[in-house]
Amino acid sequence: MLTRYDRFLIIGLLALALLCLGIVRYRAGRTDTVLVQVDGEEVIRASLAADRRFWVDGPLGRTEIEIRDERVRVVDSPCERKICVRTGWIGKPYQMVICVPNRVVIRLLGSDDDDGLDAITE
């Protein structure tokens, strides 16, 4: 059913993906900072250590975000399909909650994150 080249392709892609995944996991380390962007602009940078609830305003309206027990989630969003809300809690480096309709991106920074430098210089 599969040709020899199909197998090369599948094995090659899987190997490459798993290798990259391993490297990312290995280098990610721990995270303690959450970054919230609206429309590409950073609006909030918060520590995961302190539990809090806040909101950001996007083109559709207000996205409510909660930090608790070193994790973060979207509590409520004005978007239609609520993918961001259904994503649930995230707590590992490089995990993201993305709300495309409301242009909100919530990212957990990793230790080698290229945004990490800004945190130091700020």
Q: In Å, how far are 8, 11, 12, 17 from 5, measured between CA atoms?
A: 5, 10, 10, 18
Q: Is 16 in the site for another protein (CB under 8 A)?
A: yes
Q: How many alpha carbons lie under 13 Å from residue 31 in its C-beta half-sphere? A: 27
Distance CA 93, CA 102 (A): 23
Structure tokens at 4: 């020899």
Site string for another protein, 67-86 (x = CB under 8 A): -------------x--x--x
Closest approach of Cβ 69 to another protein, in Å? Answer: 21
Q: Residues in the site for another protein, rule: CB under 8 A?
A: 1-6, 9-10, 13-14, 16-21, 24, 28, 37, 40-41, 80, 83, 86-87, 93-94, 96, 98, 100-101, 103, 105, 107, 110, 112-115
